[in-house]
A and B are shown apart, each in its own frame.
Chain A
Amino acid sequence: MRFEGLARLGRGVIGALERLGRAHLLLLAILGGTGEVLRRPRLLFDQIYNLGVLSLLIVGVSGLFVGMVLGLQGYYVLQQFGAEESLGIMVAASLVRELGPVVAALLVAGRAGSSLTAEIGLMKATEQLSGLEMMAVDPVRRILAPRFYGGVIAMPLLAAIFSAVGVLGGYFVGVGLLGVDEGAFWSQMQAKVDFQEDILNGVIKSLVFGIAVTWIALFQGYDTVPTSLGVSRSTTRSVVHAALLVLGLDFVLTALMFGD
């Protein structure tokens, strides 16, 4: 009894390590299904549709509003220094470097990640996964791998769309409503936003986030306790873990990319 607290801590740590191990084994198994995905691109198309096309609306609309808010807020701050021409840089740099990849990843985790987890979790709870195994079909290759690649492919595209729509939103507010010079808006942006430094790094970030979000969603579904409560908990965990991991990874990646 004296060591109950300590033992609980130990159990928690061991359990977390076990889950981490299982998650990595699952990732390996999914990567082992790459050939299957390439052989049957239809499975992949379906998942790009599910994860990408169906997330397009929320990502596009969010991008537009985030860009417009950046335009407004940026204008009022920059105006105080008489530097409202720099609005373009501010909007574009913050979108391309940070907000595009991060917010798109958070939205995808909420919109698509949760549905992935629930789908896989329910398939497990209703024995569909066992059923596939008994039909000698590997559910990891047949069900999980296409979803993984679908998410990894869709994420950078969604992030790019988010950023592009956001820049247009910022342009609309800054140039259209607040009267910032159009040339200055674009010229400053182009002068300061570097293709490799900013755009490519943003794409790399969103690729990493895509892997993280889809991996977590699939693992949470696959590792779920096969009951209604279990699936609901896994779905929540999927979103929470994905959001935390995206933000944590963002810090690490930012430090690595823009740190020096």
Chain B
Amino acid sequence: MSVESDRDVLVRIRGLHFRRGPRVIFDDLSLDILRGSVTAVMGPSGTGKTTLLKLITGQLRPDAGSIEVDGEDVLRLDKAGLYRLRRRMGMLFQSGALLTDLDVFENVAYPLREHTDLNESMLRKLVLLKLEAVGLRGARDLMPSQLSGGMARRVALARAIALDPMMILYDEPFTGQDPISLGMLVSLVRQLNDAAGMTSILVSHDVQETASIADYLYILSQGRIIAQGTREQIEGDDSEPVRQFMDGLPDGPVHFHYPASPLDEDLRSPGRRR
């Protein structure tokens, strides 16, 4: 790739190193995310996909490397600058992360109340529009505890787009959803991206759903990108690790077993006192 001009690249990551304790999460990772695209970052559990989102939004700091969002170096920004940048980003957490003591309406209104001086009737209209976009205008008076997982995620999505961000980051949006709400979420992600001209970064290990809406895919394994390209390119990739992940084979380069000593040896040893 890399024929894209600088203007088209919204997020540019170069030479990213990150370790947590002795574990290396990212080892010289570089990737670009284009404006207006839905980019998926996929990989087996534990490859640091969520960590990547936290690095892009400046919640974590890398050990080395550079992260640029919309031309701004995230690592050089002070707190105020970072918060200014985050107002233009939305993030959908795996859990939804709704404020549990506010109802649905107030949750969506929250970022508007914090960052704008809209009067009450303007604010109401905006919130209802955002809720309408996720199909939950009728649920405005419910408390988060009364919502199903899928509904909570859609409310969180309405909140994430409340300030009309330039970019939205999805952390495992499809995990643990029933088929119906899964379908709704998948089409919502695509619709929001196209209707509002946003850029979407999707972190997921749900291969089929993610591949069906992504314009460009990165597959991570053990801290590195093992494959990238459009959906067709990835599907045409014959390398063993890619096929194992995409086709969901239980054993392959990524082992079913967590590294351990041979079983019979382990069974015979006296074991560790706890």
Say if the two chains contact directly (CB < 8 Å). yes
Residues of chain A with a CB closer than 8 A to B98's CB: 128, 131
Cβ distance B29 to chain A, nearest Cβ, rounded Å: 22
**Which B146-170 residues have a C-beta within 8 angstroms of A?**
156, 159
Q: Are B99 and A137 in contact (CB under 8 A)?
A: no
Q: In the docked arrangement, what's the CA distance between A132 and B86, Å?
A: 10
Q: What count of chain B residues pass the 8 Å CB interface test?
A: 23
Contact A135 B114 (CB under 8 A): yes
Give Cα A133–Cα B57 distance, bound, in whole angstroms. Answer: 10
Chain A residue at minimal CB-CB distance from B99: A128
The answer to whether the Cβ of A34 comes within 8 Å of any Cβ in the partner chain is no
A229 at the interface (CB under 8 A from B): no
Q: Do A136 and B86 touch across chains, with their CB atoms under 8 A apart?
A: yes
Looking at the complex, which one of B97, B99, B115 makes contact with A136 (CB distance below 8 Å)?
B115
Q: Would you mind naming 8 contact pairs between A and B with Cβ atoms under 8 Å apart?
A: A126-B95, A127-B94, A127-B95, A130-B59, A131-B156, A133-B86, A135-B111, A137-B111
**Cβ contacts B74-86/A at 8 Å (1 or 0 each):** 0000010001101
Chain A: interface residue total (CB-CB under 8 A): 13
B114's nearest neighbour on chain A, judged by CB, is A137
Name the residue of chain A whose CB is nearest to the CB of B82.
A136
The answer, yes or no, to whether A223 is at the interface (CB within 8 Å) is no
B92-112 Cβ-contact flags toward A at 8 Å (1 or 0): 011101111000000000110
Chain A interfacial positions (CB closer than 8 Å to B): 126-128, 130-138, 142
Q: A126-B100, A128-B100, A130-B59 are in contact. Are A136 and B83 (CB under 8 A)?
A: yes
Do A133 and B95 touch (CB < 8 A)? Answer: no
B261: min CB distance to chain A, Å = 20
| Complex Cα spacing A135 to B87, Å | 6
- Are B95 and A136 touching (Cβ within 8 A)? no
A134 touches B95 (CB 8 A): no
- A131-B97 in contact given A136-B115, A137-B114 (Cβ < 8 Å): yes
Chain B residues with CB under 8 Å of A132's CB are 99
Cβ distance B164 to chain A, nearest Cβ, rounded Å: 13
Nearest 8 A-B pairs (CB), nearest first? A131-B97, A127-B97, A136-B83, A136-B86, A134-B91, A136-B87, A135-B111, A127-B93
* B134 touches A (CB below 8 Å): no
Nearest residue, chain B, Cβ from A129: B97
Q: Which residue in chain B gives the minimum CB-CB distance to A131?
A: B97
Measuring CB to CB, which residues of chain B are less than 8 angstroms from any residue of chain A?
Answer: 57, 59, 79, 83-84, 86-87, 89-91, 93-95, 97-100, 110-111, 114-115, 156, 159
Q: Evaluate contact between B83 and A134: CB separation under 8 angstroms.
A: no
Q: Would you call A133 and B99 a contact (CB within 8 A)?
A: no
Residues of B within 8 A of A135 (CB): 86-87, 110-111, 114-115, 159
Contact B57 A134 (CB under 8 A): yes
The residues of A that contact B99 with a CB separation of less than 8 Å are 128, 131-132
A134 and B100 contacting across the interface, CB-CB below 8 Å: no
Contacts of B89 in A (CB 8 A): 134
Q: Which chain B residues lie closer than 8 Å to A136 at the CB level?
A: 83-84, 86-87, 111, 114-115
In the complex, which residue of chain A has the Cβ closest to the Cβ of B107?
Answer: A131
A130/B114 in contact, CB under 8 A:
no
| CA of A134 to CA of B99, assembled, Å | 13
Task: Please indicate the chain B residues that have their CB under 8 angstroms from the CB of A142 in the complex.
Answer: 114
How far, in angstroms, from A135 to B169 measured CA to CA in the complex? 12
A130 and B83: CB pair below 8 A? no
Bound-state Cα–Cα, A126 to B100, Å:
9
CA distance A11 to B100 in the complex (A): 37
What's the least CB distance linking B52 to chain A, in Å?
14
Not counting A127-B94, A131-B99, a sample of 18 additional A-B residue pairs whose C-beta atoms are within 8 angstroms of each other reads A126-B95, A128-B97, A128-B99, A128-B100, A130-B59, A130-B93, A134-B59, A134-B91, A135-B87, A135-B110, A135-B111, A135-B115, A136-B83, A136-B84, A136-B87, A137-B111, A138-B83, A142-B114
A215 smallest CB distance to B (angstroms)? 21
The residue of chain A having its C-beta at the shortest distance from the C-beta of B115 within the complex is: A136
Q: Which residues of A contact B97 (CB under 8 A)?
A: 126-128, 130-131
A residues in contact with B159, CB < 8 Å: 135
CA distance A133 to B82 in the complex (A): 10
Nearest residue in A to B83 (C-beta to C-beta)?
Answer: A136
**Least CB distance, B87 to chain A, in whole angstroms:** 5
Which residues from B are CB-within-8-Å of A126? 95, 97, 100
Q: Quote the shortest CB–CB distance from A246 to chain B (angstroms).
A: 29
Inter-chain CA distance A126–B144, complex, in Å, is 12
